[in-house]
Amino acid sequence: MLSEKVRHLATAGNFASFTTLRADGQPCAQVMWVDCDDEHIIINTEVHRAKYKNIQRDPRVVVLITDKANPYEYAEVRGTVVELVHGLEARTHIDTLAWRYFNRPYVAEQIESERVILKIKPL
């Protein structure tokens, strides 16, 4: 189970740095929207993105969630992508995140490929 602090940071509209490993072993980080359930950190992306290709090759990741009100308050979660969720659930989830972060639905025209949820189990 995720700690209360991690769950709070992941569901309060804070941004996360999501780090994957490239084919050459170098880390690659992006700023992402973040979410969670009781046991997993959740990242929503698209299947054409490098981060998706990276986790298919090596599912080890790091998620660093920073409190938007106090950047010295953060949580680092090292883990493994253990589940991929495609289809309507992933598409609906990106709307949920857009409402959280921007108080509006996600702009459908921005979707270039299939949405996918990455469920990350902490180590």
Largest Cα–Cα separation, the chain: 39
Q: Give the residue numbers spanning the domain of 32.
A: 4-122
Q: Which two tokens stand for residue 64?
A: 């660093």
Per the document, the length of the chain is: 123
Supply the pLDDT for residue 41: 98
Supply the pLDDT for residue 51: 97
Q: Which two tokens stand for residue 9?
A: 């940071």
Return the CA Rg of the chain: 14
pLDDT at 110 over 80: no
Q: How many domains does the chain have?
A: 1
Q: Residue 115 CA to chain centroid, in angstroms?
A: 12
Instruction: Give the position of tokens 């959280």.
Output: 100
Supply the pLDDT for residue 69: 97
Task: State the DSSP string of 67-107.
Answer: ETTEEEEEEEEEEEEEEEEETHHHHHHHHHHHHHHHSS---
- Residue 50: CATH number of its domain: 2.30.110.10
pLDDT at 2 over 90: yes
Tell me the pLDDT tens digit for each residue of 25-60: 999 999 999 999 999 999 999 999 999 999 999 999
Task: Please report, to the nearest 10 degrees, the dihedral formed by the alpha carbons of residues 43, 48, 54, 59 taken in order.
Answer: 40
